[in-house]
Structure 1
Amino acid sequence: MDLRIFTEPQQGASYDDLLTIATATERLGFDAFFRSDHYLRMGDDPFEGLPGPTDAWTSLAGLARETSRIKLGTLVSSVTYRHPGILAIQVAQVDAMSGGRVELGLGTGWFEREHLAYGIPFPAKRFGMLEEQLEIITGLWGTPLGETYSFDGEHYTLVESPALPKPVQHPFPVIVGGSGPTRTPKIAARFATEFNVPFAEFADIPVRFRAVREACETIGREPSELVYSAALVAAVGSNPAEFERRATAIGREPAELREHGLAGSPAEVVDRIGALREDGVERLYLQILDIHDLDHLELIAAEVMSQLD
């Protein structure tokens, strides 16, 4: 079971904060460091999350040069932020800067307020944009050297692109996720190397995996070609008082966290991960909401990750 650290920097993190937790992620043996891709703090006070947002791909470029082993990526970038041709160049460049350790999570976006705050268009219908962006990005990367790539869609048009640069990795890891019952599984089956279920009820996770497997079979793709993952908030304490302190620090109730996340004692979390494994989860993204609590990562590495195969 891969354990990955997932952060929400828009809530309040500088690049130096991200570097500190990313290097701890690497040192402690976690598989990857991922971050959200948002431009506005969630909550009532947008000024609480100082110093303000960091750009996902700019910060990942820096981390690519300051780490050496962990995978790096977004969960997830929004199709509303960047033209697919530009995103393909950005991601390929950061992949090269990391020596082939970058992964792209891409989604439709949902947070309208951040679009209004920074003048980013927020179309009502975005699934078509997602499908076209995935086709363009994978098409650019998959075009043989010396050939050009063209695309004529409803949302984007590319004419005889040289389709450069290429990422180091081939095929490139592309993550698609979400809760849509029909369209999301079809898109994942066509384009993804990983399907992610974010912050779902535990009982819903195998249902969503099954929909993706069925979508793969419909188009003749082997379902086992995809990695099946989930993202869940993590709050672990070596004793009840420490767990309650960590729950309070992120504004959550201990009982609610146990019901919906990877929460409680290390033994409880190990048991929960075992149940998730039985439901088909192959990779877990641990949402760490208090990024300054590095002792939390130390505990998870020492008493949870060490107990997993």
Structure 2
Amino acid sequence: MEYCIFVEPQLGMTWDQLLAFAQATERLGFHGFFRSDHYTQPDRSFSGAPALSDAWTTLAALAMATERVRLGTLVTPVTFRHPGVLAVQVANVDAMSNGRVELGLGAGWNAPEHEAYGIPFPAKRFGLLEESLAIVTGLWTTPPDETFSFEGEHYRLDRAPGGQRPVGDDVPIIIGGGGPTRTPALAAAYAREFNTGFVADDVVAERFARVADATQVAGRDPESLRLSVALTATVGATEASAKARADAQGRDPHHERANGLYGTPADVAERFAGLRALGAERVYLQVLDVTDLEQLDLLAEAVRLAG
């Protein structure tokens, strides 16, 4: 199973902290380093000093500051960037990283964040997501000597030049969520990975089953779609230190134990085994305290215990 560190810079993470987390992620042997794509918290506030950062700008810098770890977003809202521009940006960062980039793409949800920056936030955004996926993948697969055009309800491209190709065959696309029908169908059509998170194991199992059915309906081998889970990590060397971390973050230990990664490294390793049994092939370990590098060491220990 693959293990990736996942951070939320909108909680007040400075560039120096982001860099330190990414480099520690690589040093400790994790598979990937992923970040959210947000500018503010849902209420536009920060838990620490404001530290506004743009996901793809910082990932470009991290591509140059790391050598091995996979890099990407969970997830980029389609409302933030025109899909034609996004295709170029992501392909650029993929080249900078020598093919280590992955794109999580979603419909977006944080309305106040959009209002703060004057970014349009239509009530119905799923069509934007569908067309964005078609455009991004279309541009990436267009040869350098050809052009790509698209006519949709939301976007129109007129003979955009090809050649915006990723280093490898493609940039893996991650699609996730809890939608019962349209989300699994989009994952089956476009994604390398389906992600769900922050829910109990029975819900994870239900969502994995739905997306497996969708891939079969689409005529695709379910084994070709990686299944992943994102969970908040609240880990301590002892049960008492884990509780202290939960208390400091205002999180309920009972809720974290049921819906996240909570406890000692041995407890977390046991949860990893349960997720593997559900079919998860990758886990995103969400670390909310942007100053707490020690948790990465504890999570690396959990990974070693999981084997």
TM bin, normalised by shorter chain, reads: over 0.9
- Counting only pairs closer than 5 Å after superposition, residues 159-308 of structure 1 correspond to structure 2 as 159-302=158-301, 304-308=302-306
Moved more, 255-264 or 57-66: 255-264
Note if contact 1:193-1:225 (Cα within 8 Å) is conserved in structure 2.
Answer: yes
The Cα offsets for residues 6-52 of structure 1, whole Å up to 9 and x where unpaired, read as 00000101111100110000000011110000011245x72544233
Secondary structure in 1 matching 2:108: coil
Residue 200 of structure 1, CA deviation: 2.1
How many percent identity over aligned positions? 54
Structure-2 separation of matches of 1:47 and 1:73: 23
Which residue does 2:26 correspond to in 1? 26
The Cα offsets for residues 34-78 of structure 1, whole Å up to 9 and x where unpaired, read as 0000011245x7254423320000000010000000000000000
Structure-1 separation of matches of 2:48 and 2:82: 28
The Cα offsets for residues 150-175 of structure 1, whole Å up to 9 and x where unpaired, read as 11011111111112321112132000
Moved more, 257-266 or 108-117: 257-266
Note if contact 2:103-2:173 (Cα within 8 Å) is conserved in structure 1.
Answer: yes
Which residue does 2:72 correspond to in 1? 73
Secondary structure in 2 matching 1:164: coil
**Counterpart amino acid of 2:25?**
T
Note if contact 2:33-2:69 (Cα within 8 Å) is conserved in structure 1.
Answer: yes
Moved more, 145-154 or 68-77: 145-154
**Counterpart amino acid of 1:129?**
L
After the TM superposition, list the runs of 4 or more consecutive aligned residues in structure 1 that deviate by more than 6 angstroms.
none
Which residue does 1:86 correspond to in 2? 85
Note if contact 2:3-2:32 (Cα within 8 Å) is conserved in structure 1.
Answer: yes
TM-score of the superposition, structure 1-length normalised?
0.97
Secondary structure in 2 matching 1:203: helix
Moved more, 83-92 or 268-277: 268-277
Structure-2 separation of matches of 1:66 and 1:172: 20
Note if contact 1:176-1:188 (Cα within 8 Å) is conserved in structure 2.
Answer: yes
Structure-2 separation of matches of 1:49 and 1:38: 15
Moved more, 67-76 or 258-267: 258-267
The Cα offsets for residues 211-241 of structure 1, whole Å up to 9 and x where unpaired, read as 1111111111111111100100001111122
Note if contact 1:71-1:101 (Cα within 8 Å) is conserved in structure 2.
Answer: yes
Which residue does 1:37 correspond to in 2? 37
- Counting only pairs closer than 5 Å after superposition, residues 41-120 of structure 1 correspond to structure 2 as 41-43=41-43, 46-120=45-119
C-alpha root-mean-square deviation of aligned residues, in Å? 1.2
Which residue does 2:2 correspond to in 1? 2
Query: How many residues align structurally?
Result: 307
Residue 209 of structure 1, CA deviation: 1.0
Residue 291 of structure 1, CA deviation: 2.1
Note if contact 2:144-2:164 (Cα within 8 Å) is conserved in structure 1.
Answer: no
Structure-2 separation of matches of 1:3 and 1:47: 28
Note if contact 1:195-1:228 (Cα within 8 Å) is conserved in structure 2.
Answer: yes
Structure-2 separation of matches of 1:52 and 1:292: 13
Structure-1 separation of matches of 2:122 and 2:220: 31
**Which structure 2 segments of 5+ residues have no match?**
none
**Counterpart amino acid of 2:96?**
M
